[in-house]
Structure 1
Amino acid sequence: MGVAPTAGGALPGARYLVLASRLVPDRDGGFTISVLRRALDMAAAGAEITLLTVDPGETADHDTHRAEWVRRGLLGSEGSLRNLFDDARSDPSWLRRSAIPGRVPSSPWPTRVVTDGSGAAVLDLPVVSGDAAWHLTDAPVRIYDGDGDVIGWLPGFGGLYRAWLNAVAAESADGGAERAPVVVLCEARQIGETLVASGEPALDAGIRVLHTTHACHVLPPFQWDSPMDAAWQRWFEIADRFDGVLWLTPSQRDDVERRFGGRLRSFVVPHPAPVVSAPSDPVAGRIVILNSLIPRKRVDHVLRALPAIRAAVPAAHLCVYGDGGSGAQLRALATELGVADAVEWLGHVADPATRAWASADVLVLASTNEGQPLVILEALAAGVPVVAYDMPYGPRDTLAYGGGVLVSDGDIDALAAALIDVLSDRGLRSELSASGRAAAAAMDAAASMRALGDAVRTALVDPVSS
């Protein structure tokens, strides 16, 4: 069976629903930005895209988020981002059609009522606490009619999510013509588990589900066979039910296949390097960190390397973009090490890249683990050399085409030496800048969309459920 392409040719013709738990400005780090950027790239490739979220916030808050994303250029229009609870408030007919009639099962959990603009109850949600997997509970979601009476129920969040997706998928985009196939790109593991779980209502058979991944799946010491937390273990148990799993790097896909064999239908769909328009006027010695101030990012390693770097390159100084729970501790460490005068703490900035890349001499990334760091791709596109620990996952795959220096994971002395080399050897910096730009050009949106198109095409022609 052939699959018609989109107008742009990279993606098969389909309705694409990009499903995330939430998309809130300045929350969840690179995850949120990567989801929005991919949706924009898909739209640019000619695909019909709708972004979907399931966070049970207020409509006014969601409207504020939509307007802000449009302002930042990360959302094409406010109408292209929908929320389950906004839809339920504005037109609950789909919810009432999906409700299972009859007696509502009992539940041990308290509930939270969701109301519409007039204050009338639309549905209520179980408030699951403790160690219970909230997203997998069958505790009933009660559904109300317009007069405040319960008319039925859905089995937990999973039943609610599946009912909504079925309703959205059934909508005709062009007023009644034959509907295009529907492809869901699920961006959140907990949500993904609910889509393929058993129970009513089942997800419509014609919906194809591709599941993206955004993070490292193992715990310390971050080897291919290292322990996994309970959430990842549970996800891997059901991941073979998806029509495709999208990994960001070949390294992570290979480690998963080494551990689990070929049980999953895996594809590599990397983040693309963005187009960076900031002028390049590097300040000599300026080392940039652009990440949250949390233990996983190991900013303390860079601070501990800084005395040696300054001894060799007196102009060296650190500009730190980001905030987080470790901020006070890191400031104290800088004072203890005698480098406080060489560190500028810039905090959270809504659009740090515009400021950071214009003047950065080098980017440093010292995390324990990543998925595929957007910050490396941004730096390469801006011609900023990268020095990064060789941690899983991302730096090795991304820097394989040039633009940076990999350092043995956790080796602070080697980190200092690599930064000294880049800062002191202007010829080396120039070479890395040029090779980084060339690498970024090869890892562009078109390449990412071709990879995604291959995954979608396989899902449409040969679904897992067939």
Structure 2
Amino acid sequence: MGSAPPAGDRPRVLWLVKGLGPGGAEQLLLLAAGVVDRSRFDYRIAYVRADKTHLVPEFEAKGLVPQRLGANASGPALRVAWVADLRRAMADVDVVHVHSPVLASAARLVARTLPASKRPAVVTTEHNEWASHRPPTRLLNGLTAPLDAHHWAVSEQVRETVWTSRREGYEVLIHGIDPDAVSPSPGARERLRSELDVASEEVLSLTVANLRHNKDYPNLLQAARTALDTEPRLRFAAVGQGPLVEEVAALHASLGLGDRFLLLGFRRDVHDLMAAADVFTLASAHEGLPVAVMEAFAAGLPVVATEVGGLPHQVTADVEGLLVPPGDSDALAAALVAVARDDDLRQRMGAAARERVSDYDIRHAVAEQEHVYAALTAPSPGGPPRRHGS
């Protein structure tokens, strides 16, 4: 957006996230980084987890060099060092936008230790249902939430899980993707299907979800086993990494899925894999507003998913896909078989999905966020930019 004025003339915005692994919130930030208005705002990003650095190169390529808080400490000292680093980072910005309930609670409290002249406004985005958080996280998040200057939820379903006493202050802000940045490379479908050894007549179901409890891989794997026993043309592939990798691999082996269900781990070519697939599947127990579903829409894929979180808002049942109850592997398998056996149904749903892409342009969410950043940092009449609590 042209050359930016000196940093001192722009409000300084710090994005704060737990890690930079390939999760949904991190992907949304990466997409936003490509469309923010740097002529108006000086953006920074910080994270904590040393084991979640997958997207660091992508952020650097977009001109944002992530800072890892506590990078110079290890062991027990890390627990103190990252908080000290956070306090220093917060004292040097005007707005802190947090994308994790744990870090949001910490940032709110750390902000109160700063003098009013150096205290930034804290704004937060809730990406997941509060029920999916551990009880201590949910408690601390709820108790400190009133310290926010502004807060968003990524879907009405997520907002509805916020404590009733806190809910009124939460604004629903639908995030999205950059439709111009999700196109597959030329020849991706043929190349990837050859790599995965998927025949032209087979129907490939793709899942993009980290290996965590809320994604309910046991439900997905059991549904795949049942579906394959009914419709052998089906094939499955899943992109994702996470703490349950060994448990998922063990269940995969015990169900005898073999190469009919490929566990691909972390991949950077998700858009090419979307082009290679015929249907997109999510078996989640809890969700916010999955980025992967938006990308599946852009790829023209019908979606088979559980009816949780923001998914009913995204996927109109029997239009862009099929929705089933969470935890019901038989219902999920039946939906997969129905879609696999009906070429016309897949084409119709895929076309309807592609028409929805404009609903999920990340620029809409970024524009609203920047409107709030600007309002929070607007100068007082005849004075300097406002600081939270000043």
TM-score between both structures, scaled by the size of structure 1: 0.66
Secondary structure at the counterpart of residue 210 of structure 1:
strand
Aligned mate of 1:214, from 127, 136, 155: 127
Tell me the secondary structure at the aligned position of residue 175 of structure 2: coil
Residues 324-354 of structure 1: per-residue CA shift (max 9 Å, x gap): 45445444444544432422232222x1313
Please give the per-residue CA displacement for 1:247-279, whole angstroms capped at 9, x wherever unaligned. Answer: 11111113326x22556x322223213322116
Match of 2:274 in 1: 357
CA distance in 2, matches of 1:113, 1:354: 32
Contact 1:362 1:385 in 2 (8 A): yes
- Whichever residue aligns with residue 394 of structure 1, its letter is G
Q: CA RMSD in A?
A: 3.7
Higher relative contact order by CA 8 Å / sep ≥ 6: 1 or 2? 2
SS state at 2:131 partner: coil
Q: Give the count of matched residue pairs.
A: 360
Contact 1:292 1:322 survives alignment (8 Å):
yes
Matched, 1:289 2:207: yes
- Give, in whole Å, the separation in 2 of the partners of 1:56 and 1:30: 16
Shift of 1:368: 1.4
Q: Is the 8 A contact 2:238 2:262 kept in 1?
A: yes
Residues in 2 aligned to 1:367 and 1:164: alpha-carbon distance in whole angstroms: 35
| Displacement after TM superposition at 1:296 (Å) | 3.2
Higher Cα radius of gyration: 1
Secondary structure class of the residue paired with 1:42: coil
1:41 and 2:35 correspond = yes
Q: Give the secondary-structure state (helix, strand or coil) at the position aligned to 1:429.
A: helix
Match of 1:440 in 2: 357
Pair 1:50-2:68 in alignment:
no
Question: Equivalent residue for 1:389?
Answer: 306
**Structure 1 stretches of 5 or more lacking a match?**
1-5, 8-12, 86-111, 115-123, 136-140, 142-156, 170-181, 220-226
Q: Residue 341 and residue 453 in structure 1: after superposition, are their counterparts in 2 closer, same or farther (change >3 A)?
A: closer
Question: Structure 1 or 2: larger helix share?
Answer: 2
Quick one: distance in 2 between partners of 1:424 and 1:113?
A: 52
SS of aligned partner of 2:97: strand
Instruction: Answer yes or no: is 1:164 the counterpart of 2:89.
Output: yes
- 1:287 positional shift: 1.0
Q: What aligned pairs does 1:246-395 form with structure 2 within 5 A after superposition?
A: 246-256=152-162, 259-262=164-167, 265-275=169-179, 276-278=182-184, 281=189, 284-349=202-267, 351-391=268-308, 393-395=309-311
Paired letter, 1:412? S
> Are the structure 2 counterparts of residues 82 and 413 from structure 1 closer, same or farther at C-alpha, using a change threshold of 3 Å?
closer
Give the drift of 1:390. 1.1
SS in structure 2 of the partner of residue 355 of structure 1: helix
Q: Percent identity?
A: 20
Q: What pairs up with 1:415-454 in 2 under 5 angstroms? A: 415-453=332-370
Does 2:15 correspond to 1:19? yes
Deviations 1:360-414 (A, max 9, x none): 11111112112222111111111111111112x2211222495222111111121
Secondary structure of 1:246's counterpart equals: strand
What secondary structure is seen at the aligned counterpart in 1 of 2:117? coil
Q: 1:378 to 1:164 in 2, by over 3 A?
A: same
* 1:69 aligned residue (38, 43, 58): 58
Contact 1:17 1:183 (8 Å CA) reproduced: yes
Q: How many Å apart are 1:288 and its aligned residue?
A: 1.1
> Structure 1 207/360 Cα, relative in aligned 2: closer, same or farther at 3 Å?
same
- The match for 1:195 is 107
What secondary structure does 2:25 align onto? helix
Q: CA deviation digits over 1:276-314, x for unaligned, max 9?
A: 211685854111122223443222222222344234432
Contact 1:267 1:455 in 2 (8 A): no
**2: distance between equivalents of 1:301 and 1:251?**
22
Unaligned ranges ≥5, structure 2? 4-8, 194-199, 379-385
Pairwise CA distance, 1:16 = 4.3
Distance across 1 between alignment mates of 2:387 and 2:322: 41
Provide the rounded CA distance (Å) in 2 between the counterparts of 1:160 and 1:338: 48
Does structure 1 conserve the Cα–Cα contact (< 8 Å) formed by 2:203 and 2:233?
yes
User: Normalising to structure 2: TM-score of the pair?
Assistant: 0.78
Counterpart Cα distance in 2 of 1:113 and 1:316: 46
Kindly state the Cα deviation for residue 444 of structure 1 after the two structures are TM-superposed.
0.7
3-state SS of paired residue (1:387): strand
Indicate the residue corresponding to 1:32 in structure 2. 26
Change (3 A) 1:242 1:366: same
Does structure 2 retain, via aligned residues, the 8 Å contact 1:270–1:448? yes
Deviations 1:117-158 (A, max 9, x none): xxxxxxx899369xxxx56xxxxx7xxxxxxxxxxxxxxx65
> Take 2:250 and 2:74, find their aligned partners in 1: how far apart are those partners?
44
